[in-house]
Amino acid sequence: MTPATKAAKKPARKKTANPLSPERVAAIFDALQKAYPNAVCALNHRNAFELTIATILSAQTTDVGVNKVTPELFRMYPTPKKLAEAPLPELERIIRATGFYRAKAKNIQGAARVLVEKFGGKVPQTIDELTQLPGVARKTANVVLGSWYGIASGIVVDTHVGRLSRRLGLTTQTDPVKIERDLEQVIPQDHWIQFSHELIHHGRQVCIARKPRCVDCSLEKLCNAVDKTWSSDHLSGPR
């Protein structure tokens, strides 16, 4: 190896011996909280019913897209009873832009009917009850319980949370339920709700899937992902 080659070679990263150590996890919390001190759910809603419906609609699309259709939807059908009685073709028209609109229209109307018939028109406050609604799986239930009721029943695992949790070495799983179980082992319960919000914001704004903006990332020094686009190692040396 020539002297020039040696000079050009970056110092090898000294990876964290235990990526799940309490100290490292706490450092991740601290960095996220400083970067996103006011992170909240990006779906516009005024009550638990609207959040439930909006979260069902958010499957396979963006929150921005959902926020474009829900004003008309909730103006015309502001309660579970009214939504349950709505003409299905009209629901399909309103939510068409969210994709998979026929299935979603059936789900939101079915969820409204269950709310009316089984829960007196009120959104329940347990995972087991919420997942009885059509279109509501564990992720949606966790969104409603955490963002509206402030109940930390679990950790919301969407595509951003799953992807970033793997990049940060907090899990090796790809199944959302298994990812949630892994995260619950290392994240204190009083951080569950905010951790999801912060990681989702970070995934949208900085750690972008196609080309993560590592040079702007507040977690860069804590991250050992193999596909990083920039590293501070050449400035700070091995850690």
| Catalytic positions | 139, 158
Write a three-state SS string for 52-98: HHHHHHCCCCCHHHHHHHHHHHHHHCCCHHHHHCCCHHHHHHHHHHH
Cα separation, 6 vs 4, in Å, equals 5
Cα separation, 119 vs 133, in Å, equals 10
Residues 6+ apart with CB under 8 A from 95: 57, 69, 73, 101, 104, 105, 108
Looking at the chain, how many residues does it have? 239
* Residue 190 CB-density burial (10 A; 0-12 exposed, 13-18 middle, 19+ buried): exposed
- Of 33, 48, 69, 52, nearest to 195 (Cα)? 33
* Alpha-carbon Rg for the chain in angstroms: 21
Residues 6+ apart with CB under 8 A from 207: 160, 163, 164, 167, 213, 217, 219
